[in-house]
Structure 1
Amino acid sequence: MTSIDPIRLNKPKKSEVETPIQRIMREYTASGIAIVALAALVVLILIAVFAPALSPQNPYDLSQLDFMDGRLPPGSTAADGSVYLLGTDTQGRDMLSAIMYGLRISLGVGIISAVCAAVFGTSLGLIAAYAGGRLEAVIMRLVDLQLSFPAILVAMMILAVLGKGIGNVILALVIVEWATYARAARGAALVESEKEYMEAARCLNIPRYRILFGHLLPNCTAPLIVIATVQIARAISLEATLSFLGLGVPVTEPSLGMLIANGYQFILSGEHWISFFPGLALLGTIVAINLVGDQLRDALNPRKGA
């Protein structure tokens, strides 16, 4: 009689072995709220990208604006027969179109500033963890100094010196965000630096830049991805606050924060839609990004899938 090998019997089939990507997808899709948030975020991004084609009006084209249509309530009909579904603002701009274009600026500023801050902060964090010594002490003291000040205060001081502008807003947000990435990257890199593959890379005399960005960085990306999603939402919120205070983007290219500021003085007079709908769009965008980030944190946690 042929004997049965218990090790071979209990060994899972090759097709049954779950890859890391499959595990992450399974963990993420386990939450219905996270799926809805991801779908909503994708829709918002598509609206922002294709705003010129989807919006009923170009809110930046003065030839399409009529000041006689200013501050019309939602559902009003213009002289040419078009309907303002969300009403108009003080300059006669269609609020739906203005929100679509404002969403482009808000998402663009948030994503670009988060990516730039991630590249700069992660690089410094990896260098600090790998180099150690005085260089690590200097970098981490700069991180501590940066994080000790309120982000909004630092951004306001920078913009007070540089002035308004999308580029200046992005620069200010990068300056206030890089330290978070640097600290997270250093912490993850310190754990990875003690592992065997890093010791092997050092023994093989592999160039430092290849060790940092070819071996160390790929194994530190999971926490940085989660931080990036949260920082995008934070950057959008900071930009909206700065624009609301009159220090962010110029009036000629209003973001969601600027649109809220434009209607703030008319809230008590009953014309609440000028600020309400941009505020609702801003809230929905930030909530969707945060929900996606929270679920990514759980999905990328290796202990949960163990």
Structure 2
Amino acid sequence: MTEPSTEAVTLARPERPARMGGQIAAFWAEFSQSKLAVAGLVLFLAIAVLAVLAPWVAPQNPYDLAQLDIGDSQLPPLAHAGMSHHIYWLGTDDQGRDMLSAILYGMRTSLYVSVACTVLAMIVGVALGLFGAFYSGAVDAFIMRLADIQLSFPSILIALVFIAAFGKGVDKIVYALVLVQWAVYARTARGSALVELRKEYVEAARCLKLSDTRILFRHVLPNCVPPLLVVATVQMATTISLEATLSFLGLGLPITEPSLGLLISNGYNYLLSGSYWISVFPGVALLVLMLCLNLMADRLRDVLNPRLKK
């Protein structure tokens, strides 16, 4: 009597990867219907690859003093470097740094801060949101009141206070932005979890005496991923914008760390003197990066939200 059931279980195991592959194919088929979203995804991946490989693909290390020549400062786009044949495609800044290289290094730092902040904020926020929804009562009320207090203050103000208290640095700005954004994930996870906890599979899991942690993270969390994925994509763009704002104000990353916001700030004083490229090109790179993320987020929302499907 036990042999047929064993065979049935054995035969059923390969179906799960096949089903997952079918879901991914269906998701991509629907996502790719938007040419703008696909263009945003391709451009974002290209930017990310170039940023990660910046030490190898950039024409110059803009933060290596041995490679800089003050005589090449404020050269316009497509200018040649003195007696050499090197071309500064996007010009140079006031210190003779190649703007193309500086932008690649700056995007590398901005993307690192954005990804690190998004991952940490999601871990903290999702865990608190799930526990609040599952245990409800005083636990849920306490977590949501903390989230309400955090969301009642402007994000930039909280980040400024944190940095003023703990100082500058890549790790400091990541922690500051996590403090700013965890509440968004907590509210999203809680709202999705409250819907899932009313479904029959949760009651079945409780009847089987599964642990609370297993019910939350093994069964409830996977069904909360779609809205969290949309929020994470939007929040990545928000994080890049906040980091650029803080660096532009001189309160974000130190001058030894390349950043798009810091590059824009360095060229701000030269806008009216004619050296527009020092500030404009990093600004365009920041705009394109955020545009790509927002295009992807809009399409993800349309694909993953069943209420928006016709």
TM-score, scaled relative to structure 2: 0.91
Checking the alignment, whether the CA contact within 8 Å between 2:107 and 2:259 is kept in structure 1 is yes
Amino acid at match of 2:152: S
Confirm whether residue 209 of structure 1 aligns to residue 213 of structure 2.
yes
Confirm whether residue 135 of structure 1 aligns to residue 139 of structure 2.
yes
How many residues end up aligned between the 2 structures? 290
Taking the aligned partners of 2:257 and 2:43, their CA distance within structure 1 comes to: 24
Residue among 66, 71, 79 paired with 2:69: 66
Unaligned runs of 5+ in 2: 1-17
Residue 189 (structure 2) aligns with: 185
Taking the aligned partners of 1:83 and 1:130, their CA distance within structure 2 comes to: 60
Residue 41 (structure 1) aligns with: 44
User: What per-residue deviation string (whole Å, max 9, x for no partner) do you get for residues 158-196 of structure 1?
Assistant: 111111111100000000000000000000000000000
Amino acid at match of 2:165: V
Confirm whether residue 119 of structure 1 aligns to residue 112 of structure 2.
no
Amino acid at match of 1:64: Q
Per-residue deviation, 1:19 = 4.1
SS in 2 for 1:100: helix
Unaligned runs of 5+ in 1: 1-14
Residue 109 (structure 2) aligns with: 105
TM-score, scaled relative to structure 1: 0.92
SS in 2 for 1:96: helix
Amino acid at match of 2:282: P
Per-residue deviation, 1:227 = 0.2
Confirm whether residue 53 of structure 1 aligns to residue 68 of structure 2.
no
User: What per-residue deviation string (whole Å, max 9, x for no partner) do you get for residues 36-64 of structure 1?
Assistant: 11110010001111111111001111100
Residue correspondence of structure 1 range 151-300 to structure 2 within 5 A: 151-300=155-304
Checking the alignment, whether the CA contact within 8 Å between 1:27 and 1:298 is kept in structure 2 is no
Taking the aligned partners of 1:154 and 1:128, their CA distance within structure 2 comes to: 24
Question: Identity over the aligned pairs, expressed in percent?
Answer: 55
Taking the aligned partners of 2:177 and 2:28, their CA distance within structure 1 comes to: 31
Residue 4 (structure 2) aligns with: none
Residue correspondence of structure 1 range 78-93 to structure 2 within 5 A: 78-79=81-82, 80-93=84-97
User: What per-residue deviation string (whole Å, max 9, x for no partner) do you get for residues 226-263 of structure 1?
Assistant: 00000000000000000000011111112000000000
Taking the aligned partners of 2:97 and 2:64, their CA distance within structure 1 comes to: 10
